[in-house]
């Protein structure tokens, strides 16, 4: 009986949402803004880049000016992408003493990096009813309409990011943010953007799109693309 009541309630909520969407679709769309990211969270991301698959452990810590992507490509090695708000990034492995240190003109993503995005309405994505936004024809972002949690985002290139978990307030221990000693002993600092992909610790890994930051109007960090190209 309880399950039946709950089911009826959920269907009622869904019908109201659909009717409101239809009504608004005939007139002016209901404008809404993306929820800013919390200052600290942990998320597991499943990423499909034109058939190249990877899982990324994302640790975001705006309060301390740092961002950590632990990237596992399908049947590949685990790459650690450690980024700081001063523009310094380390790309390294732990199974072998390989590391590259790079410097970028911008820091990590701001919590309100989606500010100014264009609202496109509601749609179902990954089984969730989501609000959809687009920013400068470069990224499409989907947020759960009920919980306001990020669900999915995709880039103009076709790369899609599926948010598997989203733990607000989760913090990685400070000791885990320390790059290995060999990053400082052997790393080569790369300043020229054209040379950054060449200097990457893995073949073909481009930590940034050259125009990423410009296209997103200072809202998105150039090298925060969460992908390894084969």
Q: What percent of the chain stands above pLDDT 70?
A: 67
Region 82-93: mean pLDDT is: 94
Rounded CA gap, 230 and 228, in Å?
Answer: 6
CA pair distance 70, 56, nearest whole angstrom:
5
For residue range 130-148, what is the model confidence (pLDDT) as tens digits? 999 999 889 999 999 999 9
Please check whether residues 227 and 209 belong to one and the same domain. Answer: yes
**Is residue 155's pLDDT more than 70?**
yes
Same domain, 109 and 8: no
pLDDT of 95 over the 50 cut: yes
Mean pLDDT of 98-119: 91
Q: Kindly state the DSSP code that residue 106 receives in the 8-state scheme.
A: S
CA distances from 202 to 79, 162, 174, 177 (A): 9, 24, 26, 21
Average pLDDT over residues 5-10: 54
Residues 14 and 102 in one domain: no
Average pLDDT of the chain is 79
182, 149: one domain: yes
9-13, 37-41, 139-143, 200-204: least confident range: 200-204
Residues 185, 165: one domain?
yes
Same domain, 174 and 112: yes
Q: Which residue has the tokens 């995005």?
A: 117
Q: Is 172 exposed, middle or buried (0-12, 13-18, 19+ CB in 10 A)?
A: middle
pLDDT at 125 over 60: yes
User: Are 112 and 180 members of one domain?
Assistant: yes
Same domain, 20 and 43: no
Query: What is the domain range of residue 170?
Result: 36-230
User: Does one domain contain both 91 and 117?
Assistant: yes
211 compared with 106, residue with greater pLDDT? 106
Q: What is the pLDDT of residue 68?
A: 97
Write down the pLDDT at residue 17: 58
d(Cα 47, Cα 49) in Å, to the nearest integer?
6
φ, ψ for residue 133 (rounded to 5)? -130, 155
Whether residues 2 and 46 fall in one domain: no
Q: Please report the pLDDT score of residue 192 as a whole number.
A: 47
Identify the top-confidence range among 15-19, 20-24, 107-111, 128-132: 128-132
Confidence of residue 189 (pLDDT cuts 50, 70, 90): low
Domain count, the chain: 2
The CATH number that applies at residue 134 is 2.50.20.30
The most confident of 5-9, 69-73, 187-191, 214-218, by mean pLDDT: 69-73
pLDDT band at 214 (very low <50, low <70, confident <90, very high): very low
Q: Are residues 43 and 15 in the same domain?
A: no
Same domain, yes or no: 146 and 228: yes
Confidence at residue 105, expressed as pLDDT on a 0 to 100 scale: 85
For range 92-120, the mean pLDDT: 92
- What is the CA 228 to chain-centroid distance, rounded? 14
């Amino acid at each position: 009986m309880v399950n039946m009541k709950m089911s009826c309630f959920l269907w009622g909520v869904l019908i109201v949402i659909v009717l409101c969407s239809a009504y608004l679709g005939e007139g002016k769309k209901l404008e809404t803004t993306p929820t800013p990211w919390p200052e600290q969270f942990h998320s597991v991301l499943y990423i499909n880049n034109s058939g190249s698959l990877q899982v990324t452990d994302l640790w975001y810590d705006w309060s301390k000016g740092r961002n950590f992507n632990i990237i596992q490509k399908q049947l590949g090695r685990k790459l650690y992408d450690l980024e700081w708000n001063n523009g310094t990034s380390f790309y390294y492995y732990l199974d072998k003493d390989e590391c590259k240190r790079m410097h970028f003109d911008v820091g990590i993503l701001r919590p309100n990096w989606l500010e100014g995005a264009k609202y496109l309405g509601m749609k179902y994505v990954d089984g969730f009813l989501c609000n959809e936004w687009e920013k400068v024809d470069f990224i499409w972002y989907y947020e759960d309409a009920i919980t306001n949690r990020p669900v999915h985002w995709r880039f103009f290139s076709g790369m899609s990011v599926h948010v598997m978990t989203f733990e607000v307030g989760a913090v990685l221990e400070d000791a885990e943010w320390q790059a290995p000693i060999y990053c400082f002993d052997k790393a080569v600092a790369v300043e020229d953007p054209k040379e950054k992909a060449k200097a990457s610790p893995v073949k073909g890994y481009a930590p940034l799109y050259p125009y990423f930051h410009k296209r997103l109007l200072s809202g998105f960090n150039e090298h925060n693309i969460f992908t390894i190209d084969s």
